[in-house]
Amino acid sequence: MSSQIAISDCMLCVWDCGIKAHLENGRLVKVEGNPEHPISRGYICPRGEALPEYVYSSNRLTTPMIRRNDRWQKASWDQALDYCAEKLTRIKEEYGARALSIFCGSVGVENIEVATFARRFTGAFGTPNLLSVENICYRTRILARQITFGRYPLDDPKLSRLIVLWGHNPDGAKGMLGELIRERLGKGELDLIVIDPKRIPLAEEAYYLPIRPGTDAALGLAMLNVIINEGLYDKEYVEQYTIGFEELVEHVQKYTPAWAEEITGIPAADIQAVARTFARCKPVCIIQGVNTLDQHRNGLQNSRLLSILQAVTGNVYTPGSWVTIPRIPLANLAIKVEEMPLGAEDYPIFSNLWGRRGAFGIATMFPQAVLEGKPYPIRGSIVTAANPVVSFPAAALFKEAFSKLDFLAVIDPFLTETAELADVVLPASTFLEKGGLAYVYGVVFGEPYAIIRRKVIEPVGDSWPDWKIWKGLAERLGMGELFPWETDEEATDVLVEPGDFKNRLLAAFPMGTYYGEKEYDIQKKKKLNTPSGKIELYSQTLKDHGYDPIPVYMEPYQSPINTPELYEKYPLILISGARCQEYTHTQMRSIPVLRRQNPEPLAEVHPATAEQYGIKDYDLIKIEAKTGSIKLRAKLTDKLSPGIVSVPHGWAHANVNLLVDMEGLDPITAYPDFKAVLCRISKV
Ligand SMILES: Nc1nc2c(c(=O)[nH]1)N[C@H]1C(S)=C(S)[C@@H](COP(=O)(O)OP(=O)(O)OC[C@H]3O[C@@H](n4cnc5c(=O)[nH]c(N)nc54)[C@H](O)[C@@H]3O)O[C@H]1N2
Ligand SMILES: Nc1nc2c(c(=O)[nH]1)N[C@H]1C(S)=C(S)[C@@H](COP(=O)(O)OP(=O)(O)OC[C@H]3O[C@@H](n4cnc5c(=O)[nH]c(N)nc54)[C@H](O)[C@@H]3O)O[C@H]1N2
Ligand code: SF4
Ligand SMILES: [Mo]
């Protein structure tokens, strides 16, 4: 028997922890964290450890399948790709190229191999409609920081004196950050503030502010009120590097701590205390939820407020605050389509900020385009590395839309709920069965580090890597010359621009290498990339587009104050999507070792709230909202504030997205409100 250990990285979620993969006769048998990886330093979560069970799962799709007479039939790759090509050609002839949407999920934007070739195919086919989770996750905060700073600065938590976890629970969503914070707290190097409706584990070691979901902007504005009126801002920094401070001073006057207490439920004295600590401790780094604050009707302005808090206290571009890192020299393999995608007119900043064109259209407009033909019909879709029928808001509507297409193909290693609606499923290899590139370390620790990945095990069954699937499709559509790569190595290496970095990266395999250094003090060295060349506390760009140039407070669309009649019927607030270590989104429920650790979705409720409705721990309950209802068991916990129900996302049989609608989208980015939905509960 031949045993071997391969150094690689895990892509079961976005953080790319370093791993050691133990192989026996070429088969993966065990996975552990790699202590030599400079960022993850040996950290591994239960999903990473379950990689052998994941890759060899009996639920893997091992061959293409075509649906005929409502039954799946196994097909060869030739048959399946020919079939797709025929359907795609018909859609193009009948409705034009734009009637096809390519739909990418979390893996479809985070795994650069998956994302790059999906995007290239979109351009080659000639449709502008590349849709993705970026319309519900992360792009909003990037935009908010770009609007404020010209670039997107990242967290630098290794050197912070104070960290604010604002709607973020590292123990669920970003384990290696949790480890770092505990290590630094243990050494007495760090203070911590937690702002969350739930007393998360790290709140035990922090100054904790329980907040009413969706009211974060009220807290942020009141903190600014205190910081400005008590003269606690960084006068020199503000004067030299920002514009709009005078307008900001006037703007925040009405947002007093007493006003914010009414809205957020946080006592005014606590708001004052936190504002003072925030302004006096340097360097400080707000680590906002990866999506939490963005997934609100006020999402972009929530994120803008955090930028303004960092800026007025002089906590941008300094060690331990928010920093920038050089851009990784990725090759640009996108093929340009002149026409703008769905939603570009209604959400112009999302699509094009200062001539920087966004990669994606507005995915939340997809159901309307399919079901009503507005603004024009979408008739076909290829979904890759996504499960939107479960992961997107207004789940019933998305399901109906995917069901009513003329043609749907799904590329995935598993038969997802979205794949169950497809005409064709194409089995994708997982990241360990192909090449790739890991480079998201900037997002966790501001680290400009990258690793080139090579295949660790052979593709399972007759699965193909994504690049090969797109190539096969392109060939059948007469565009084969645009996908000339023949081997896994070629298709991986082409992701990085030729040059010094690429040579270093290849030479550093399998460990990876830095592609630059953190950049500090750039505000001192050059004009920033905003229209004014300064940090824009007041944004003329937002104003010119008809939005508030300085963030205002906006109630959640459904709320006790905004919709009091609805509140009478649905008196509790539903938050959704808190992460757990066992699963990534809708995935991995069929992996027994993970399912045993986390067998079923549980709705968290405060014991006092549960008692009001006669609910005991582990009772089966019904949660109803305006758009639907789900059933699952209750978990009583006094960690969650009373009056709130917290439900995980990603469980198909109790899909919380049946309760989330798309009525009150963020006017700037069309993000839905996943985190403040009115609901009621009852014992079943
Ligand atoms: N294990 C695991 N890790 C993941 C993922 C996964 O599926 N599984 N997904 C990855 C992805 S794509 C993403 S986007 C990130 C998500 O990462 P985050 O958005 O950071 O999610 P969480 O850390 O779970 O934090 C959610 C916290 O926000 C609180 N919260 C809810 N509503 C509000 C509110 O209105 N205001 C405030 N202040 N707090 C609120 C919740 O109580 C919870 O503690 O996680 C990534 N990491
Ligand atoms: N209510 C509520 N809903 C939410 C959220 C929330 O907080 N609350 N969070 C939202 C967020 S932030 C996000 S990012 C979305 C995520 O939404 P999705 O991306 O739709 O969810 P996933 O389950 O991660 O789907 C990824 C798919 O990629 C497949 N896959 C894995 N590797 C590969 C590969 O190499 N190639 C291909 N082709 N496929 C692969 C997986 O099997 C899986 O089916 O969910 C969102 N939904
Ligand atoms: S946190 Fe877990 S799933 Fe995510 S990359 Fe690390 S080991 Fe993999
Ligand atoms: Mo996300």
| Ligand 2 pocket residue status of 459, Cβ below 6 Å | no
Which residue's CA is the closest to the ligand 2 atom numbered 47? Answer: 391
19, 35, 55 — which closes off a domain? Answer: 55
DSSP H/E element including 28: strand 27-33
Which residue's CA is the closest to the ligand 1 atom numbered 36? Answer: 213
The Cα 395–Cα 625 span in angstroms is 13
> Across all residues in the chain, what is the average pLDDT?
97
Cα of 659 from ligand 1 centre, angstroms: 18
| Ligand 2 pocket residue status of 657, Cβ below 6 Å | yes
Residue 261 pLDDT class (50, 70, 90 cuts) = very high
| 540 is a domain residue | no
Residues 6+ apart with CB under 8 A from 377: 95, 99, 369, 370
Q: What is the mean pLDDT of residues 415-429?
A: 98
Please report the atom of ligand 3 found closest to the CA of residue 44.
7
Q: Choose one of 44, 107, 453 to mutate for the ligand 3 pocket test, by most ligand atoms within 8 angstroms of C-beta.
A: 44
Q: What is the mean pLDDT of residues 422-442?
A: 96
66 backbone dihedrals φ, ψ, rounded to 5°: -120, 140
Residue 656 amino acid letter: V
pLDDT at 631: 98
| Ligand 3 pocket residue status of 44, Cβ below 6 Å | yes
| Ligand 2 pocket residue status of 661, Cβ below 6 Å | no
pLDDT at 444: 82
Cα of 132 from ligand 2 centre, angstroms: 10
For helices 299-312 and 139-149, give the axis angle rounded to 10 degrees.
Answer: 40
pLDDT over threshold 90, residue 49: yes
Please report the atom of ligand 1 found closest to the CA of residue 640.
42
Indicate if the alpha-carbon torsion angle 26, 28, 31, 37 is positive or negative. Answer: positive
| 521 is a domain residue | no
User: Coil, helix or strand for 57?
Assistant: coil
Report CA 337 to chain centroid distance, whole Å: 25
Do 208 and 238 reside in the same domain of the chain? yes
- Output the CA angle 350-553-229, nearest 5 degrees: 120
DSSP H/E element including 324: none
- Output the CA angle 420-648-564, nearest 5 degrees: 110
Cα of 321 from ligand 4 centre, angstroms: 23
User: Coil, helix or strand for 495?
Assistant: coil
Q: Choose one of 133, 463, 585, 677 to mutate for the ligand 2 pocket test, by most ligand atoms within 8 angstroms of C-beta.
A: 585
CB-based contact 134:359 (threshold 8 Å): yes
Which residue's CA is the closest to the ligand 3 atom numbered 6? Answer: 17
Please report the atom of ligand 1 found closest to the CA of residue 291.
19
Residue 225 amino acid letter: N
Our count of domains for the chain comes to 4
Tokens of 339: 């026409």
pLDDT over threshold 90, residue 442: no
Beta strand extents in 136-190 (DSSP E only): 154-155, 162-166
Question: Which residues approach ligand 1 with their CB closer than 6 A?
Answer: 13-14, 106, 137, 166-169, 172-174, 195-198, 200, 211, 213-214, 216, 289-292, 575, 578-581, 583-585, 646, 675-676
pLDDT over threshold 90, residue 108: no
The Cα 612–Cα 328 span in angstroms is 54
Cα of 45 from ligand 3 centre, angstroms: 6
Do 297 and 168 reside in the same domain of the chain? yes
Cα of 304 from ligand 1 centre, angstroms: 18
Cα of 71 from ligand 1 centre, angstroms: 38
Closest by Cα among 12, 10, 20, 9 to 579: 12
| 244 is a domain residue | yes
| Ligand 2 pocket residue status of 384, Cβ below 6 Å | yes
CB count, 10 Å around CB of 155? 21
CA distances to 122, 133, 466 from 117, in Å: 9, 17, 7
Residue 649 amino acid letter: H
CATH number at 614 reads: 2.40.40.20
Do 424 and 347 reside in the same domain of the chain? yes
Q: What is the mean pLDDT of residues 472-488?
A: 98
Q: What is the mean pLDDT of residues 311-335?
A: 96
Which residue's CA is the closest to the ligand 2 atom numbered 4? Answer: 391
Cα of 585 from ligand 4 centre, angstroms: 8
| Ligand 2 pocket residue status of 675, Cβ below 6 Å | no
| 516 is a domain residue | no
Closest by Cα among 632, 648, 650 to 640: 648
CB-based contact 579:674 (threshold 8 Å): no
Residue 284 amino acid letter: V
Do 568 and 635 reside in the same domain of the chain? yes
Using CA atoms in the order 115, 121, 124, 126, what is the torsion angle rounded to 10 degrees? -90
Please report the atom of ligand 1 found closest to the CA of residue 289.
20
Do 293 and 344 reside in the same domain of the chain? no
| Ligand 3 pocket residue status of 13, Cβ below 6 Å | yes
pLDDT at 338: 96
Cα of 639 from ligand 2 centre, angstroms: 28
481, 498, 515 — which closes off a domain? Answer: 498
CA atoms within 13 A on the CB side of 181: 28
Which residue's CA is the closest to the ligand 3 atom numbered 4? Answer: 13
Which residue's CA is the closest to the ligand 1 atom numbered 33? Answer: 213
Please report the atom of ligand 2 found closest to the CA of residue 11.
32
Do 161 and 297 reside in the same domain of the chain? yes
Please report the atom of ligand 1 found closest to the CA of residue 195.
38
Ligand closest to 104 (CA) is 2
Please report the atom of ligand 3 found closest to the CA of residue 584.
3
Please report the atom of ligand 1 found closest to the CA of residue 138.
14
Do 348 and 259 reside in the same domain of the chain? no
Tokens of 577: 């999507």
Q: What is the mean pLDDT of residues 4-32?
A: 97
Map tokens 């086919």 to a residue.
125
pLDDT at 443: 84
| 532 is a domain residue | no
Give the DSSP letter string of 283-305.
SEEEEE-SSTTTSSTTHHHHHHH
Please report the atom of ligand 2 found closest to the CA of residue 586.
23
| Ligand 3 pocket residue status of 170, Cβ below 6 Å | no
The Cα 295–Cα 109 span in angstroms is 18
453, 469, 498 — which closes off a domain? Answer: 498
| 141 is a domain residue | no
Do 609 and 624 reside in the same domain of the chain? yes
| 555 is a domain residue | no
Please report the atom of ligand 1 found closest to the CA of residue 106.
12
> What is the residue range of 226's domain?
154-320
CATH number at 190 reads: 3.40.228.10
| Ligand 2 pocket residue status of 587, Cβ below 6 Å | yes
Q: What is the mean pLDDT of residues 537-552?
A: 98
Count H helices, E strands: the chain? 27, 29
The Cα 343–Cα 670 span in angstroms is 9
| 635 is a domain residue | yes
pLDDT at 335: 98
CB count, 10 Å around CB of 490? 12
The Cα 623–Cα 61 span in angstroms is 34
Do 25 and 126 reside in the same domain of the chain? no
Do 285 and 307 reside in the same domain of the chain? yes
CB-based contact 219:211 (threshold 8 Å): yes
The Cα 234–Cα 232 span in angstroms is 7
The Cα 553–Cα 101 span in angstroms is 35
pLDDT at 567: 97
Cα of 575 from ligand 2 centre, angstroms: 18
Ligand closest to 580 (CA) is 1
Which residue's CA is the closest to the ligand 3 atom numbered 2? Answer: 45
Using CA atoms in the order 55, 61, 62, 63, what is the torsion angle rounded to 10 degrees? -160
Closest by Cα among 191, 212, 211 to 202: 191
Strands 130-132 and 100-104, bridge-based pairing: parallel
pLDDT in tens, 512-543: 999 999 999 999 999 999 999 999 999 999 99
663 backbone dihedrals φ, ψ, rounded to 5°: -75, -45
Report the chain's C-alpha Rg in angstroms: 25
| Ligand 3 pocket residue status of 51, Cβ below 6 Å | no
Ligand closest to 8 (CA) is 3
595 burial via Cβ count (<10 Å: 0-12, 13-18, 19+): middle
| Ligand 2 pocket residue status of 430, Cβ below 6 Å | yes
Please report the atom of ligand 1 found closest to the CA of residue 171.
23
CA distances to 29, 73, 187, 276, 344 from 191, in Å: 41, 59, 11, 13, 43
Buried b (16+ CB within 10 A) or exposed e, 10-42: bbbbbbbbbbbbbbeeeebeebebbeebebbbb
CATH number at 415 reads: 3.40.50.740
pLDDT in tens, 360-401: 999 999 999 999 999 999 999 999 999 999 999 999 999 999
User: Coil, helix or strand for 78?
Assistant: helix
Residue 462 amino acid letter: D
Ligand closest to 574 (CA) is 1
Do 196 and 291 reside in the same domain of the chain? yes
Cα of 138 from ligand 4 centre, angstroms: 6
Give the DSSP letter string of 598-664.
S-S-EEEE-HHHHHHTT--TT-EEEEEETTEEEEEEEEE-TTBPTTEEEE-S--GGG-GGGS--SSS
| Ligand 3 pocket residue status of 178, Cβ below 6 Å | no
| Ligand 2 pocket residue status of 463, Cβ below 6 Å | no
CATH number at 17 reads: 2.20.25.90
Do 300 and 160 reside in the same domain of the chain? yes
